Structure formats: structure tokens, C-alpha cells
């Protein structure tokens, strides 16, 4: 066989091998990047849920100041890009429920004030 042909074929095989390895590594890196993004998103959503729980506890507290703080925090959480449709529905229902409770408490206090007069 011609030595130039053999050298050319060896070079071609080497280039194809290096190209295949490069494509494989690039594909693996992209897959790892996607997995990392998914883990980071899951961690951010988990932190969002912890903040929701904290805000909900504040919104249900006895202190009016804590309730207002909790409701404001819930409003901020609803504006987060992490709050998807289901979370927004949950926030809406929860806030309505807390506001109803606050209004009921206020009306009871008003009635007690009228009865005491």
C-alpha cells in the first residue's frame, strides 16, 4: 500500500476519533448543565415553599402586625417567577381565607364594643 495513502487514512481516522470524542464530551456537558439547572430550580422552588410556609404562619398569627406582614409576604411570593399557576391559586385562596378571618375578628370586636357601650 502507498505510504501516503496509509498516512492519510491514519490521519483521517485520528480526526474522526477526535471529532467523535469532542461531540461526545460536548453532549455530556450540555446534559450536565441541564441537570444542574433543574437541581437549582428545584432548590429555589423548595426555598419558595419554605418562605410560603413562614409567611402563612405569620398570616395566621394572633398579632395584627404579624398578619399584615404575612399577607404582604404572600403577595410578594405570588409575584415571584417561581410561583406557577397552582401556587398562585393556593395563594389566592389562602389570602382570601385569612382576610375573611381578619374581617370576622374585626366585626366581632366591633360588636363587643357596641355591647359594652
- Measure the N-to-C terminal CA separation of the chain; round to a whole number of Å: 116
Tell me, what's the pLDDT at 116?
64
Range of the domain at 43: 3-116
Tell me, what's the pLDDT at 117?
60
Tell me, what's the pLDDT at 51?
93
pLDDT in tens, 14-41: 888 888 888 888 888 787 778 888 899 9
Whole-structure pTM value? 0.62
pLDDT in tens, the chain (117 residues): 688 888 888 888 888 888 888 888 888 878 777 888 889 999 999 999 999 999 999 988 888 889 889 989 988 998 888 888 888 888 888 888 887 877 777 787 777 776 766
- Please check whether residue 84 is in contact with residue 73, taking contact to mean a CB–CB distance below 8 angstroms: no
Distance from C-alpha of 117 to C-alpha of 113, rounded to nearest angstrom: 6
What is the number of domains present in the chain?
A: 1
Tell me, what's the pLDDT at 95?
80
Lookup: cell for 24: 461526545
Which residues, in sequence order, are CB contacts of 61 under 8 Å at separation 6+?
A: 67, 70
Amino acid at each position: 500500500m502507498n505510504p501516503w495513502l496509509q498516512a492519510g487514512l491514519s490521519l483521517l481516522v485520528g480526526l474522526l476519533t477526535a471529532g467523535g470524542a469532542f461531540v461526545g464530551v460536548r453532549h455530556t456537558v450540555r446534559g450536565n448543565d441541564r441537570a444542574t439547572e433543574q437541581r437549582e430550580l428545584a432548590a429555589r422552588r423548595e426555598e419558595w415553599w419554605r418562605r410560603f410556609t413562614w409567611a402563612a404562619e405569620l398570616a395566621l398569627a394572633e398579632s395584627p402586625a404579624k398578619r399584615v406582614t404575612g399577607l404582604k409576604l404572600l403577595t410578594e411570593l405570588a409575584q415571584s417567577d417561581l410561583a406557577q399557576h397552582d401556587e398562585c391559586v393556593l395563594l389566592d385562596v389562602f389570602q382570601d381565607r385569612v382576610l375573611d378571618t381578619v374581617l370576622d375578628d374585626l366585626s366581632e370586636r366591633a360588636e363587643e364594643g357596641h355591647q359594652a357601650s
